[in-house]
Structure 1
Amino acid sequence: MQNFFAFVALLISIFLLITPPALSQEATEISRLLEKDSDISVRDMSNVNSKVVVSDTLRGWQMDWVSGINGSQASYDNWSQGGVNTISVTASTVFNAKYRKGQFAYALGTNFKYGKSRLEGEGTRKTDDRIAVNNKFSYLFEDERWSAFGNINFSTQFDKGYNYAEEPPVVISSFFAPAYFTQIAGISFQPEDYFTAEAGMAMKQTIVSDTSLSTRYGLDPGKTFRFEPGYSLAMNFEKKIVSNVRLVSSVETFTNLQRHVDQTDVHFSNELIGKINDYLNMSFQFVMVYDSDFSRELQIKQVLSAGFSYSIL
């Protein structure tokens, strides 16, 4: 339990300092995938880009829709230092809609992402997989830094995920296994455009459509559904830190009222997004997750990518 609280304290300290993580070379990510020998996107609870904030200057509707494709390739032939031939591609599409009329505001954020990598001698493996839909309803108080809000969120993945450490590889996730619905009602504080803090009562529903995976995600054997009442805390930060580079960072927690506090779910996300020009971009994503239902150990994900993006709206 002391280790858990130390971990939470460390996350909050890092978040408040807003210190961007150091970038690593793409080869580090490929090496980590081989060493871990498992899918790196098994337990991505939410998406850092789906945090939609309605500006206090907005009137009516505002929409944006960006799609992109990122890739990497490495090839070696008689190379003395050695290496693994690889090719990877990730496609994504992000749609945001915001609305405000008087004291009422609404925000919708969707993020779909799917990626695969082919490693010579290892076959094709999933490197990213996300379906996330977030809805936020807000009522702004007289002091517009404060508001009452209600969130309705959903997340799952498209495809099966495997643990390649076992032979043959074992399925550890699939479409709607797991899937998460969360509803949160509470108070939000936004002292600056780039920072928001939220606290509220929450309900969380976990769906595992494949009963062979039920116990892996904290459900009783053979069960497909679990309901959890609790409370949630969150902080979100999004700001341009240098020219053409934006940092998006968030820490979110969910505490089940029926369980000990050391089993609180914690999701800490960071993404650095660098815009090369209107169409080319680079990004570095670093995510840490603590979820005692899935594992008592930290889950860590890091992805460095470059690619093409296009604004549809």
Structure 2
Amino acid sequence: MKFIKIGIITVLATISFCMSTTAQLLDFETDTIKVSPIYPKKNMLVSRLPFFYIKKQDLPFYLVNRKVNYWKSTGSFGLNLNQAAFSDNWSSGGVNSISLSTLLNYKAEYNKDGKNFISEVILQYGKLKNKDQMQRKTNDRIFWDNKASLRISQNWNFFGSLSFESQFDLGYVYSKDAQGNEIRKPISKFMSPGYLTESFGFEYKPEKYFSLRLGTGTARQTFMLDTTLYRNNAKNFGVPIGKNFRNELAFQAVMNFEKEIATNINLKSRYLLFASYEHLNNIDQRLDITLTAKVNRLVNVTVAGTALYDDDFSSEIQSSQSLALGLVYKFKP
């Protein structure tokens, strides 16, 4: 009997538990089934923000006090030496000769907040001596150009410039006398002529390697400190005979192009147009082109050419060309 009572109690307890559980799932008033929400499983590949921290670092005093340098300057010095020698019985003929030429180019540029300043100096000098002939110049030029500009739009600047040009040594014309001897007469020298040009206007500069100046207001002074050179040059570079000075007002255009057109090959050109308001029918023009190929760190091959038209000296186009293999040392001050 005891075991029967225990069995009955166990069955009643089980029934009571099942009824209470069913009552929780069923809502008899609304006759609906309550369903617990099912949440998605957690992503095992949890992405976390990278851990970082700020660390205090003590810097050396020379780094803390460092300032931004808005100047960029470059320079180069070149030396070319050519020599040839032949024996008296050389079957192909020839003339003993020796020549030496030098070149110094320095350029400094400042850029900050749309303000730009460029100063460039070009110094060239060369001599050639052939056997039984007087020595001659192969190069002789002093050129100093300064330009300050202010940006007014993306490609246009307002500029003002000042440039100076002359030569180092005496220049001669060569001829022969009645006996066949070579003679020479001076036609130019330092500051005879010398040119000082002031200009202001607008500059178009769409790229770093190209610029075009349009000097709507330009003045040029031509100096002839030696008033006797007119005897061998009747035009006297446009300066009235017996005078030392001539002033001209003009329109000036200057185009500059400098770019590395291939590996170790640089092309630099400068075109100048000077149209005097007094003589618009005679426009002075000059084109300089220099192609430099770098052989190694110190040796370069340079091809240079100049075409010049200046009615104050000659009514025909003047030209010069040179090819040189020499040493070029580049420096950064």
TM range (shorter): 0.7 to 0.9
1:83-162 correspondence to structure 2 within 5 Å: 83-143=94-154, 145-162=155-172
Answering whether residue 55 of structure 2 is matched by residue 82 of structure 1, we say no
Two-structure CA RMSD over aligned residues (Å): 1.5
Aligned equivalent of 1:43: none
Which structure's CA Rg is the greater one? 2
1:63 match: 73
Unaligned regions of 5+ residues in structure 2, if any?
1-67, 178-182
Structure 1: 5+ residue stretches without partners: 1-57
> Structure 1, residues 58-87: CA drift from partner, whole Å, max 9, x if none?
961111121121121122222222121111
Shift of 1:287: 0.6
Query: 4+ runs of 1 displaced by more than 3 Å?
Result: none
- The normalised TM-score by structure 2 is 0.73
How many angstroms apart in 2 are the aligned matches of 1:133 and 1:162?
A: 24
Aligned residues: 254
TM-score by length of 1: 0.78
Q: CA deviation at 1:248?
A: 1.1
Q: Tell me if the contact between 1:59 and 1:101 (Cα under 8 Å) persists in the aligned partners.
A: no
Counterpart CA distance in 1 for 2:86 and 2:70 is 54
**Bigger relative contact order (CA 8 A; separation at least 6):** 1
Superposed CA offset, 1:218-250 (max 9, x none): 111111100000001122222222221111122
Determine the C-alpha separation between the residues in 2 that align with 1:148 and 1:79: 62
2:287 and 2:73 map into 1 onto residues whose CA distance is 27
Q: Any idea what the Cα deviations from partners look like across 1:175-199, whole Å, max 9, x if unmatched?
A: 1110000011111111222221221
Find 2:200's aligned residue among 168, 172, 185. Answer: 185
How many Å separate the matches in 2 of 1:248 and 1:64?
15
Match runs of 1:1-313 below 5 Å:
60-77=70-87, 78-143=89-154, 145-165=155-175, 167=177, 168-200=183-215, 201-214=217-230, 215-259=235-279, 261-313=280-332
Match of 1:44 in 2: none
Question: Aligned-pair distance for 1:140?
Answer: 1.0
1:26 matched residue in structure 2: none
Instruction: For residue 280 of structure 1, report the CA deviation from its aligned partner.
Output: 0.7
